[in-house]
A and B are shown apart, each in its own frame.
Chain A
């Protein structure tokens, strides 16, 4: 069923419901005048476990890239023991091509804060750290102002949620990153809040059991938390009415989703759509089609870690199963970068390989060494000095790194793997035109 009203973008004018030109940051007064923090009021009248069950029943899947069910994650927490437990909000948003969380922070920060307050109450987490990437200078100021406003109105702080309407107290702090993509990985993020270099941790133990400062911790994406309020407000049936069932027998992809389109389209931007919308529809109906009427050549599925969709995959449904159907890693952040017919895919591969090489934290050998090695090989191909054997070697290195083959600590290497491998595979002809063939000597006559 198609989305009939703006939900996450209710206060953020967005096509087709509004004109982005009219966007303004919504302050707390305007937020409250338009129903804001009413859902928090409703939430604290419920039992915490009721809310967890609601989010679980809704099957809210994480919006940060992995699509892990939020409600299920919340049930991994041990029972409260009276000591500090944390919620970490992931606003690292450093995945190239991704700019959807920024929209919420820029224009409706209290929607996020309301979700944070509800999640803290539901999971009985008393301290929230809003982790925001260092380059979001303006956004850090907007968010800090919103947090200050929320404190001034007694949403957070010493009296208990909503000025003491609940005796559960939540503190909320902003923590700025400093320019490292790996801190978007949930345990790299924890290290950064602890003041250390962002080296992801080996799991288990999982953060729900042993997270920030060794205490139970939930890490969720900004958009995931922003969706919690609307679910509590409108209910599970409504949520399940948006989005789609799985087309391959897997778990469903419910709810509205922010999708950010960039690259060679007429009107790039963030749109709120039903999960499952075909990429073609997203480009044609929301973005005004391909730029200058050029032909579609390919697209990054949703942040560079996911890999690319090929020319024959323009109709791919943007749901959490996209990976299984179209040989990409997954939906990721649902932010596709679109390429037109003139795009040099070898250059795209080089760009992505450079990104992963630059951002590898360096603690796993296949990722640290493999990323640099692949970049060198791709650059060699780009210069026209490569051979067909180099292409095979690139695929071999790519395929050997990541959580999937089980050789690395975190998923950054899987991103590198999929980014490079899908481009070389789906645009093999373009790579082959750039390399010299290697003739394998064959002994004539033997057997």
Chain B
């Protein structure tokens, strides 16, 4: 995902007092991850996956903390974060709808799904709804071309999609994120 620069020259990196990396996380990584890789830098991707998963983005402060932990430059962390689609500097919605737009899905009707979600949620691909509930992404081949068209709803792949199925999935996601009190 593109690195989005802030328009203001006075913009500062948002920080919080509580660190993103806890002592427990660091200890686990030190035990389980670091020994696998010949350099500390090698552990960067699994660590970023964990942070992205927990925060639905990789906050700048977390990048700086990770750089400190891995003894690499924050620029190297930013470089990796911005290269890969799955790491984002902007916070994603609670439910990320990633519709495949590659060739098998296109010739099997992905466009009507994208258009449907656009009009239903009022967002364009790569945007998030104002309430932070949904992000719409168009992704390249998800490796399920025989059941095209397909989409990921967060980490779950849904196959042979129709508009009705997409509606159902969105409604279900809305209920789950509705803040109904139980987690």
Enumerate chain A interface residues (CB-CB to B < 8 A).
84, 93-99, 101-102, 133-138, 171, 173, 175-181, 192-198, 212-213, 215, 260-264, 268-270, 300, 304, 335, 337, 339, 343, 347-348, 351-352, 354-355, 358-359
Contacts of B76 in A (CB 8 A): 196
Given known contacts A215-B38, A337-B103, what 17 new A-B pairs fall within 8 Å (CB)? Answer: A94-B141, A96-B102, A97-B103, A134-B86, A135-B98, A135-B143, A137-B152, A177-B45, A192-B45, A194-B41, A196-B76, A196-B79, A196-B80, A260-B146, A263-B108, A268-B145, A304-B103
Q: Which residue of A lies closest to B148 (CB)?
A: A262
Q: Which residue of B lies closest to A141 (CB)?
A: B155
B22 at the interface (CB under 8 A from A): no
B41 touches A196 (CB 8 A): yes
Partner of B155, one of A137, A194, A347: A137
B152 touches A176 (CB 8 A): no
Contacts of A97 in B (CB 8 A): 102-104, 141, 145
B157 at the interface (CB under 8 A from A): yes
Q: Which residue of A lies closest to B45 (CB)?
A: A195
CA distance A102 to B103 in the complex (A): 18
Q: Which residue of A lies closest to B44 (CB)?
A: A195
List the 7 closest A-B pairs by CB distance, nearest first: A179-B85, A195-B44, A262-B145, A178-B84, A197-B83, A268-B146, A96-B141
- How far apart are A133's CB and chain B's nearest CB, in angstroms? 7
Partner of B49, one of A96, A178, A193, A352: A178
Q: Which residue of A lies closest to B40 (CB)?
A: A195
A193 touches B42 (CB 8 A): yes
- Chain A interface helix/strand/loop/mixed: mixed
B144 at the interface (CB under 8 A from A): yes
Known: A96-B103, A194-B42, A195-B42. A270 touches B146 (CB 8 A): yes
CA distance A52 to B83 in the complex (A): 37
What are 26 A-B pairs at a CB distance below 8 A?
Answer: A94-B141, A96-B104, A99-B144, A134-B49, A134-B85, A135-B142, A136-B143, A137-B156, A137-B157, A171-B36, A178-B45, A178-B84, A179-B139, A195-B39, A195-B80, A196-B44, A213-B38, A213-B42, A263-B104, A263-B108, A337-B103, A343-B107, A347-B106, A348-B103, A354-B101, A358-B140
Contacts of A339 in B (CB 8 A): 107
B48 at the interface (CB under 8 A from A): yes
B43 at the interface (CB under 8 A from A): yes
Partner of A94, one of B140, B156, B157: B140
Contacts of B143 in A (CB 8 A): 93-94, 98-99, 101-102, 133, 135-136
Known: A178-B85, A263-B104, A268-B145. A173 touches B36 (CB 8 A): yes
Contacts of A337 in B (CB 8 A): 103-104, 107, 145
Q: Which residue of A lies closest to B87 (CB)?
A: A178
Contacts of A261 in B (CB 8 A): 146
CA distance A163 to B39 in the complex (A): 29
Query: How many B residues touch A, CB cutoff 8 Å?
Result: 43
B147 at the interface (CB under 8 A from A): yes
Known: A98-B141, A268-B145, A270-B146. A180 touches B83 (CB 8 A): yes
B83 touches A198 (CB 8 A): yes
B155 touches A179 (CB 8 A): no
Contacts of B144 in A (CB 8 A): 99, 102
B46 at the interface (CB under 8 A from A): yes
**B68-116 at interface with A (beta carbon < 8 Å):** 70, 76, 79-80, 83-87, 98, 101-104, 106-108
Known: A348-B103, A351-B102. A197 touches B80 (CB 8 A): yes
Q: Of residues B46, B86, B101, B103, which shows the largest number of chain A Cβ atoms within 10 Å of its Cβ?
A: B103
Contacts of A197 in B (CB 8 A): 79-80, 83-84
**B118-175 at interface with A (beta carbon < 8 Å):** 139-148, 152, 155-157
Q: Of residues B45, B107, B152, which shows the largest number of chain A Cβ atoms within 10 Å of its Cβ?
A: B107
Contacts of B102 in A (CB 8 A): 96-97, 304, 351, 355
Known: A96-B140, A137-B156, A264-B107. A194 touches B39 (CB 8 A): yes
- How far apart are B149's CB and chain A's nearest CB, in angstroms? 11
B140 touches A181 (CB 8 A): yes
Partner of A176, one of B46, B142, B145, B147: B46
Q: Of residues B41, B145, B155, which shows the largest number of chain A Cβ atoms within 10 Å of its Cβ?
A: B145
Contacts of B146 in A (CB 8 A): 99, 260-262, 268-270
- How far apart are A151's CB and chain B's nearest CB, in angstroms? 13
CA distance A98 to B79 in the complex (A): 29
Partner of A180, one of B37, B79, B85, B101: B85
CA distance A93 to B45 in the complex (A): 18
Q: Which residue of A lies closest to B43 (CB)?
A: A195
CA distance A95 to B104 in the complex (A): 11
